[in-house]
Structure 1
């Protein structure tokens, strides 16, 4: 009887150890395109937890202070979707090439996401063709 209980406990522990969260992003790059200075800089990265354990995003960091990421508030259940919000400071004119790094308990614990685009100066129009 003791052997049967021991086998059951070992099987349960090994099954629990195999449970893993998996984060799958709809896209790992957001292209702002050409946007006007001072326009809305908020975008979202959509993702789904395709694993069989709750996904916990512990931290989200950007490569500079001009980009402010926001992680989901709580765990994301298996099969559920959520977003990582990114706010870029569009008062900075010029090209956008930034990295947002997501830290989680997923099978890939560190995931790099990219944002790109260009913020145009006040004297240029988004409708103007660039040369």
Structure 2
């Protein structure tokens, strides 16, 4: 996992704290483990995208069904990074990039600071094939 393009020394304590659920999200992908996703997201979260021109919106429980506990065979070559994160009080937004084989995903997160720490409130994403 890499932090925003700013060096870690330039991130504020608030920004570093808001990165915590994103790190759990990255672990969920790396381990193909929904338990990390449940730690990262609020229970009310939705994961949304436009897929082949059709709007999709999954509640967290449906999204978690996609994780079966078997890491991808190419996991060692996958890359995930936080491109930027902005914090304003108890709310934040972030953009992350995931390079999973021939697919590159851009995720946009809305995060909230709760009594249980920072959580991802919602995610919108787009995936693009890097193959010609």
TM-score by length of 2: 0.29
**Greater Cα radius of gyration, structure 1 or 2:** 1
TM-score by length of 1: 0.30
Q: Between Structure 1 and Structure 2, which shows a larger proportion of helix residues?
A: 2
Q: Which has the bigger relative contact order, CA under 8 A and spacing at least 6?
A: 1
